[in-house]
Structure 1
Amino acid sequence: MANWQTHVEFEQGGKEKAAYGSDLLNQLSRDLTLEFGKGFSRSNLVYMRKFYLAFSKSETLSHQLSWSHYFEILKADNQLEISFYTKQCEKENWSVRELKRQMKSMLFHRLALSKDKDGVLKIAEQGAEVQKAEDIVKDPYVFEFLGIPQQYHYKEGELEEKLIQNLEQFLLELGKGFAFIGRQYKISLANRHFYVDLVFYHRILKCFVLIDLKRGEIEHNDIGQMNLYLNYFAKEENVEGDNPPIGIVLGAYKDHILVEYATENISKQLFVSKYQLYLPDKAQLSAELERLLDDDTGL
């Protein structure tokens, strides 16, 4: 590392953003290969340099992560993403495969765009903390792993079945702390029967998490029904030590004005989110995040 550090600092003249052309990298590759042997191809040097620039302070390195983890993390576009995925990978013990999926689904951008500038910088520095209900909710959720074509007219039951068949991937998308309890969880009230699509327990927040799936647009009565489920679980299912349950109504579309009015004065534990069946548009999310970070009303 010391020899590599010397090469980087000498060739850059002390500047972090030196122009690294092909000829220079090719020459370095030849020199280092002659001195140290195999492992110094041009492509490897590109990532070694990125690694040194991103983690020049040794205390920022995690011994829990392999070089394969760092190789994927260094594909991120900026230092905020690199820092976030390093922290999150360490916290949630992601395999390289899981890390690649989370990066493709633009997890950092999806979480960051639900926060202000201070919040973005905090999750980049510390990773995503789970301390309150809002911390486990994403908007949108990404279900590309289900393999459902965008134009396919699936039913809600099919979506639910697919999520259960891909439970490992679904739990990865939900995030740390979720334990699956059951599907079509039966509630009986006044001789009527209701069924919650999916029920989880969150071991960190110590509460039930109820998810209702909607194939199309979320309606106001869907929100009212979830509120009923939350009240039932709080009174009938919770035991000593359990916190109030969290409800997530998950649909393909939502009208923000309708949601605002339908959720006003309703439990702060009830959330309305969208899901999508394809990976997010990277350019669009990057542009939105850049606008947020450039906002003069922030830091």
Structure 2
Amino acid sequence: MSAQLSSEYGSGFSVSALQYMRGFYLAYPDLLANRHALRVDFDPQTIDALVIQHAARVESGAHTHTHTDADGAWRAGTLHPGLSWTHYRLLVKVARPEVRNFYEIEAIRNGWSARQLERQIASLLFERLLKSRDRQGVLTLANEGQLPAHPKDAIKDPYVLEFLDLPASHRLVESQVEEALLNQLQAFLLELGGGFAFVGRQRRLTLDGDHFYPDLVFYHVKLKCYVVIDLKVGKLTHGDLGQMLLYVNYYDREVASKDDNPTIGLILCSEKNDAVARYVLADKNEQVFASRYQFVLPSVDQLRAEMQRELEHLGQTVPDEELATKPTKRRKSTGKIKGRKQ
């Protein structure tokens, strides 16, 4: 078919292009209300006219061939002018419709480029967010995207920092990680998620002449609260948690305004100690969180095993098919994002 179409109509009908077209058609069966409208002769003038009409509608903000709900709002699984063909080529590789819907919603809401969307799919963003959701929360995530309503909704575990291009070495120190994060602040904000605004680094706190320096401070515009982040190389200790409690209490009492919500504290460490965290945090476990960071993209099996372990602590189980994600083949990266087959 590729050879025949190419000989008759020229370039644009390679085998891979036809495979993407077929995958797009199968993944988005509801794109057009009247499929007979697709039966257009391959006349160059007709095709050019359709392209010009589509471009004009996109330019004016209209939703060309877009299915909407009863109230006229766009819904996932239908065409959106904010997503390019490159976006859709990435989305059709996501096998589960609810997961694909999530990435569509987030790509449109956050204005992700195709490269940013590729990274979020490859780093299994949906699966990482899944860990902090109950079953109803999973449905909300799939249908509405990431809408933080509580502090835990804004936290991931693990955080994937492969864009820093740092080795996973015990010789690293916190200052190196901090410097690398600031040099790649745009990528770090993308990994943190929507709503984070950078406030500053090493902002001094003074208590009776003693000075303390939280590594990074952000403000979450949706949760309306400060977010204090501390970086730790190595295993999480009770001292790290105690220090973060001090930062959180200080910001709640001395920095936050009366309209702000309680401060969130996030410790990024290379190795967690869940038992220590539970006993030290006690009644503060809704404000202070500890998450791991890693410098390589996680595999599906790693995420599945980790999620199952976390759920077993809660006395829950999730069927394997609910965690399954179609493997994504990624090309070798030529930039700062180092890809590997998932």
Counterpart position of 2:257 = 239
Alpha-carbon distance in 1 for matches of 2:321, 2:275: 24
Counterpart position of 1:41 = 14
For the 8 Å contact 1:117–1:293, the answer to whether it is kept is no
Aligned residue for 2:284, secondary structure, equals coil
Out of 149, 155, 168, which is 1:150 matched to? 168
When the two chains are superposed, the root-mean-square deviation of aligned CA atoms in Å is 2.2
1:257 is displaced (CA, Å) by 1.4
Out of 200, 204, 209, which is 1:182 matched to? 200
Q: 1:122-201 alignment to 2 at 5 Å?
A: 122-151=140-169, 153-201=171-219
1:46 is displaced (CA, Å) by 1.4
For the 8 Å contact 1:117–1:292, the answer to whether it is kept is no
1:265 is displaced (CA, Å) by 1.7
What TM-score, normalized by structure 2, do the two folds share? Answer: 0.73
Q: What fraction of aligned residue pairs are identical, expressed as a percent?
A: 45
Aligned residue for 2:188, secondary structure, equals helix
Out of 72, 85, 90, which is 2:108 matched to? 90
Alpha-carbon distance in 2 for matches of 1:65, 1:147: 29
Structure 2: unaligned runs, 5 residues or longer: 32-66, 68-77, 309-316, 323-342
1:115 is displaced (CA, Å) by 2.2
The one-character-per-residue Cα deviations of 1:204-239 (angstroms, maximum 9, x if unpaired) are 111110001110111112112111111111111112
- What amino acid does structure 1 have at the position aligned with 2:318? L
- What amino acid does structure 1 have at the position aligned with 2:29? S
The one-character-per-residue Cα deviations of 1:61-106 (angstroms, maximum 9, x if unpaired) are 2221111111112222432332211111011110112111212211
For the 8 Å contact 1:199–1:210, the answer to whether it is kept is yes
For the 8 Å contact 2:170–2:234, the answer to whether it is kept is no
Counterpart position of 1:54 = 27
Alpha-carbon distance in 1 for matches of 2:137, 2:307: 12
Q: 1:1-299 alignment to 2 at 5 Å?
A: 27=1, 29-30=2-3, 32-33=5-6, 38-58=11-31, 59=67, 60-151=78-169, 153-266=171-284, 268-285=286-303, 292-294=318-320
Alpha-carbon distance in 2 for matches of 1:100, 1:232: 39
Aligned residue for 1:185, secondary structure, equals coil
Alpha-carbon distance in 2 for matches of 1:288, 1:155: 26
User: CA 1:65 to 1:286, structure 2 compared with 1: closer, same or farther past 3 Å?
Assistant: farther
Structure 1: unaligned runs, 5 residues or longer: 1-26
Structure 1 residue ranges, 4+ long, deviating more than 3 angstroms after superposition = 29-38, 286-291, 293-296
- What amino acid does structure 2 have at the position aligned with 1:125? N
What TM-score, normalized by structure 1, do the two folds share? Answer: 0.83
1:31 is displaced (CA, Å) by 5.4
1:286 is displaced (CA, Å) by 5.2
Aligned residue for 1:264, secondary structure, equals helix
Aligned residue for 1:260, secondary structure, equals helix
Aligned residue for 1:100, secondary structure, equals helix
Alpha-carbon distance in 2 for matches of 1:96, 1:273: 27
User: CA 1:226 to 1:89, structure 2 compared with 1: closer, same or farther past 3 Å?
Assistant: same
